[in-house]
Structure 1
Amino acid sequence: MRMKTPGAVLLLLWSGVVVVSAESGGLQHNAPGASATSDEKISLSDVNTLLREMKTLLTEQTEELRLAKAQLVTVETRLNASEKTAETMETRLRASEGQISTLQTTDAGRKIAFTVSLEIDTNRYTGPFNTGTTLVYKHVITNILNVYDPRTGFFTAPVKGVYDFNFYVYGGGGPIGIGAQLRRNRERLLMAFTGGDDHSISASNGVSLLLEVGDVVDIYLPANHRIIDNAHHHSTFRGHLLFQV
């Protein structure tokens, strides 16, 4: 319902007073020679007093309405501010959850590393063979996330990234070459080799590789080559994730 203005209300009140006065005989001119008693007339001063009281009451009600409207605006403003604050907090919470998830994923990715050696404690040569074969390193020193399989000799990449690998070969002198090759998905990439010496000799090599999920890396003993290992763990294979891509 639309509110009437104070002026309109006063006009209505004045009209009501005039009508009541007319119906009761007040505010009428008496006929010549006629007389009227005091209780049959409403004096102008009474009407003015009544109007002043009504105006005062209306003013008070108007002020109360203004205050109520101001309070309502304040409440609405605070409510809107609270809603915006809640939205901001929710946005920050989601961002924090995303950061935590990213950090957890990154942290999990960084925890990829292994170090193995060919023998546990037995002093013996592996090779030479008529055909090449994957070296199965039996002694597991470190194997976080079980990325290296000691049954097959293969490292399998659990995430896409750049990995760093190193391997070391050791052996005695003689005509048989001491060496091995690093392979990715059975493709030969590089070799550590030494030979032609009567004393114990060793060699090493390393590489950083971009691997996809599921790529495999192994150390391959070529035909007619051999390496030795024992409890001192001279012949080793190691690798770890540098960073994810």
Structure 2
Amino acid sequence: MYGQFDLITLIALIVAVAAIIKLRSVLGQRTDEDEQRVERLKTREREAAQRPATETASADVISMPRRDREPVPAAPAAEVAGPSVEAKIRAYPVQDPAVTAGLLDIAKFDPALDPDTFIAGAGRAYEMIVSAFAEGNRRALKDLLSKEVYDGFTSAIADREARGETIEQQFVGIKKADIIEAEVKNGTAFVTVRFVSELISATHDKSGQVISGDAQRIKDVTDIWTFSRDISTAKARSNPNWRLVATQAPN
């Protein structure tokens, strides 16, 4: 019995030793592919060590590899055309249909006319003019006013300065702005806008005393201003700027 057991044990040991020798022979060898992998790893480590700090810092940004032949991207789909100028003008709310007719007449010469865009620009001009007049800033007024209106504004500023008066003013904002007239005369476009704005304004005399207005109260102010622009020729139309040509008090 013991001899049989020893024989079986001996055979098992021989098989185990043979398996270990075979396994070691396999694990201990490097194939050509293994050598190439190790070499590539060493190369990457050397390159990483030689990179500048800025490049290393951005190493988490991964650029996807490009194909040798990238497919040509498809042309973007054509943008959906927006409303026409005529549609924008007809959609603009007015109390008098003559305003719509006048805007359409202007659009025949100026196809880019957009009532909403015009009102936005007129509102910015209104704020600049009101603020520049209060400050006595003649230079700012000159580019925004016609000669006649400019002369009237600067004359009022000069009279105010001669009396030693100053205006303390804060422009709060425009509550409402509407186009109330529009027409073309002799190649010149005229658009009249009614502004309802909020101002804090007080006029001080030379001693600093308030003689009109209130520096602590917001006041609603209504102005009716007419802007014009020469649209008679292509050269004239290349200048997109409108100028204030008339002011009037509300009825």
Q: Place the TM-score, normalised by the shorter chain, in its bin.
A: under 0.3
With the length of structure 1 as denominator, give the TM-score of the two structures: 0.21
Larger radius of gyration: 1
Higher helix fraction (1 or 2): 2
Higher strand fraction (1 or 2): 1
With the length of structure 2 as denominator, give the TM-score of the two structures: 0.21
